[in-house]
Amino acid sequence: MIEIKKGGITEAVELSRQLPEFIDPAGEDEYHKRLDGVRSLILIAWDGKKPVAFKVGYEKEDHFYSWMGGVLPEYRKKGLAKKLADVQEEW
């Protein structure tokens, strides 16, 4: 069963590096540049102890900006991106 939890920058970066579409994914420095000092949310979807998807967003002036996200190829077409977006929207 997939469980969605708050996560950290390291988990999001590690997941992004496993996505074939991300040729040169943002590293931890870029995440810190965007997220340090602002209200932000990093969500990780877990299949047991394996992180399989992520979604990152932060407050930007007068709105919330959904910045980065992805799902491992073998977990696509299961509604994970939508579930992550729904949790982000509720936040």
Domain-wise residue ranges, the chain: 2-90
Q: Which fold has domain 2-90?
A: Aminopeptidase (3.40.630)
Express each pLDDT in 42-89 by its tens digit: 999 999 999 999 999 999 888 899 999 999 999 999 999 999 999 998
pLDDT at 62: 87
Q: Distance between CA atoms of 5 and 54, rounded to whole angstroms?
A: 10
pLDDT band with cut points at 50, 70 and 90 for residue 11: very high
Phi, psi of 53 (to 5 degrees): -160, 160
Calculate mean pLDDT across residues 16-44.
94
pLDDT at 91 over 90: no
pLDDT at 9 over 90: yes
